[in-house]
A = this chain, B = another copy of it.
Amino acid sequence: MPVENPENDHPGHSLDQLNQALSSGMFVHVRNMLQKMAASDIALILESSPPDARQVLWQLIDQEHIGDILDELSEELKDPLIRGMSPERVAKATASMDTDDLAYVLRSLPDAVYKQVLQSMTEQNRQRVEQALSYPDETAGSLMNTDTVTLRPDVNIDVVLRYLRQRGNLPDTTDTLYVVDKKDKVLGGVRLADLLTCAPNTTIRNIMDPDIESIPVSMSDSEVAKKFERNDWVSAPVVDNDGKLLGRITIDDVVDVIREDAEHSMMGMAGMDDDEDTFGPVLKSTLRRSLWLSINLFAALLASSVSNMFEGTIEQFATIAVLMTIVPSMGGVAGNQTLALVIRGIALGHIGQSNARWLIGKELSIGFLNGLMWSILVFIAVFVWKDDIPLAGLIGGAMLINMTIAGLAGASIPLILKRLKIDPALAGGMVLATVTDIVGLFAFLGLATIYLMH
């Protein structure tokens, strides 16, 4: 249940305290509070603050924490904050970041700033960044870290332990070391747990898992996320076309992809961009939402032009107009239920060629059964209200037609859009609403016109 007990909501609590201090102008106190907080909590607070408070907070944050915080911020927030910093400050703040996070931050910079930042970096960091940026966004390459620790198959655990103690540390979220041959080809993986629990004279080859699955560098990030989810991985090696180890992907970055993909469906169905900033500036948000509204205006005018064809019927019998919104509304809701189910099924990889037809048939049946049930109920409701059996029959009949079509459309529209390489989560809702509105009006007003003609 996402409904939280507010008393459990610790970051929300410190957020309220901080905002109080901020609005009372107690900047020194705010700075002290921020110093005691984890980067992730500060990121949360920045994301939860209106733009003005954000700028003030940003000035009060310790220089040395800026890199960690940038790492945790959503893209929409990162851009304006980074643009406000000098290139030297950006270079300094990002020097200690992981390759994948660094690339993620720099990808969004304007070209001029980006070049200046690169120039302020050490040669080694510049190379790391340029390599990371060479992989396209939303692929395994863009999620990848290059900080892998590799072993040779023919050494024993004792040798590995001496090597690791000399090394002194391991990169964050390392659960597996990769075993590679002389050409960096992945031969297998050795879990840290096995290094700790096996006898020191065991050869790596004997404890490595030779069936470890490597991720091709060009795999889409959503596909990577599905693999992590299905296999309960903490990390996985990334390889090029020849099986050569390039880096590794860790679960913390995958969790972000899972969250983003799920949000994408939810926000997309409501006609919103998934990186829309909750506390962003008014004018920017207004403009971003316009595209969806303009498509809807077009759809609404289309529906009106259907009603317009039946103006004579409405003139003759105004009660038709009073009731004419019910049929499209029920069709819209029923179709949207089906749409949400199918969009989730596509996102989870459950729907393929072999079961799509079955699914459409199932949703058509549900639409028909729902249509039957609700046409009887709406018949009764309208009969009780208007005491007019033909009218109640007309609306019941139109309801049955529209809800059946809604089931069919709700299931087939996202599948057709997917085949056309159009994102069903973005376009599905609007296409469906247009279909259910037009079919609903046509059915009801059309039946009424035929009835009135007799």
Contact = CB atoms under 8 A, between A and B. Distances in A.
Interface stretch (A27-35, A89-97, A239-247, A266-274): A266-274
A230 B4 contact: no
Nearest to A264: B2
Given A50-B362, A255-B228, A266 B300 contact: no
A322 interface: yes
A85 interface: no
Interface in A231-271: 231-232, 234, 251-252, 255-256, 258-259, 261-267, 269-271
A133 interface: no
Interface string A40-53: 11011001111000
Interface string A351-385: 11111001100100110011001100110010001
Interface in A2-35: 2-6, 8-9, 11-13, 15-16, 19-20
Contacts of A48: 349-352, 355
Contacts of A261: 2
A206 to B, nearest CB: 15
Contacts of A56: none
Contacts of A304: 322-323, 325-326
A56 to B, nearest CB: 14
A293 B407 CA distance: 13
B1 A222 contact: yes
Interface in A117-172: 138, 161, 164-165, 167-170, 172
Contacts of A340: 266-267, 269-272
Interface stretch (A103-111, A178-186, A330-338, A446-454): A330-338
A165 B337 CA distance: 54
Contacts of A355: 15, 19, 48-50, 279
**Interface of A, helix, strand, loop or mixed by DSSP:** helix
Contacts of A88: none
A425 interface: yes
A269 B300 CA distance: 22
Copies of this subunit: 2
Contacts of A164: 196-197
Interface string A272-314: 1000101100110110011011101101110110011001001
A383 to B, nearest CB: 13
Contacts of A416: none
Interface of A: 1-6, 8-9, 11-13, 15-16, 19-20, 38, 40-41, 43-44, 47-50, 72, 138, 161, 164-165, 167-170, 172-175, 192-193, 195-199, 219-220, 222-223, 228-232, 234, 251-252, 255-256, 258-259, 261-267, 269-272, 276, 278-279, 282-283, 285-286, 289-290, 292-294, 296-297, 299-301, 303-304, 307-308, 311, 314-315, 318-319, 321-326, 328-330, 333-334, 336-337, 339-355, 358-359, 362, 365-366, 369-370, 373-374, 377-378, 381, 385, 418, 421-425, 437
27 contacts: A2-B346, A2-B423, A3-B422, A3-B423, A9-B223, A16-B353, A40-B231, A49-B355, A164-B197, A165-B196, A228-B255, A258-B259, A266-B340, A266-B343, A271-B336, A272-B340, A276-B341, A278-B351, A282-B365, A282-B369, A286-B366, A289-B334, A294-B377, A304-B325, A311-B321, A314-B322, A324-B325
